[in-house]
């Protein structure tokens, strides 16, 4: 994903990788489209997984769903939903226990943040952003 982020210039604000799907909060600036980001990330990760596994064929689901985040409250709600996915899926008891989530990127301890396998981009929404 880091290669896609550098090449396309989008921000990754939160994520969770689940056994059969993934969620991400992505900030793509015009003229970049979310569909371009998803296509690039899915293509690169599928190629890498196939190379590691010695496999081929479809890897990701063809469909995807995107939603606009219209205000700060919605951003927080979506981020919490993403982080709670492993808990609701019965994979872990707390969001921070699931390694493949951005939840620990928000920890207060620098060592916890540094141990995250994927670093996020931190954004600061203006106070009262479309409240």
> Around 89, how many Cα atoms within 13 Å sit in the side-chain half-sphere?
16
What is the CATH architecture assignment of 2-114? 2-Layer Sandwich (3.30)
Cα separation of 96 and 115, whole Å?
A: 12
Handedness of CA 11, 47, 35, 58 (dihedral sign): negative
Q: Which residues contact 119 (CB under 8 A, 6 or more apart)?
A: 105, 113
Residue 129 — pLDDT band, cuts 50, 70, 90? low
Give alpha helix (H) positions in the chain.
2-8, 34-53, 72-88, 110-114
Q: Report pLDDT for 60.
A: 82
Give tens-digit pLDDT for 31-78.
999 999 999 998 998 899 899 999 998 888 778 888 888 888 899 999
Stated pTM of the model: 0.85
| pLDDT for 118 | 92
The domains of the chain are located at 2-114
């Amino acid at each position: 994903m880091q290669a896609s982020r550098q090449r396309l210039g989008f921000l990754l604000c939160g994520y969770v990788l689940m056994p059969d799907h993934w969620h991400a909060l992505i900030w793509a600036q015009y003229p970049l489209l979310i569909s371009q980001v998803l296509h690039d990330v899915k293509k690169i990760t599928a190629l890498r997984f196939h190379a590691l596994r010695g496999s081929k064929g479809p890897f990701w689901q063809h469909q995807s769903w995107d939603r606009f985040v219209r205000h700060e409250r919605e951003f927080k709600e979506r981020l919490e939903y993403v982080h709670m996915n492993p808990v609701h899926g019965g994979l872990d008891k707390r969001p921070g226990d699931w390694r493949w989530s951005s939840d620990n990127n928000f920890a207060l301890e620098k060592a916890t943040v540094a141990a995250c396998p994927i670093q996020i981009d931190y954004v600061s929404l203006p106070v009262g952003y479309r409240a």
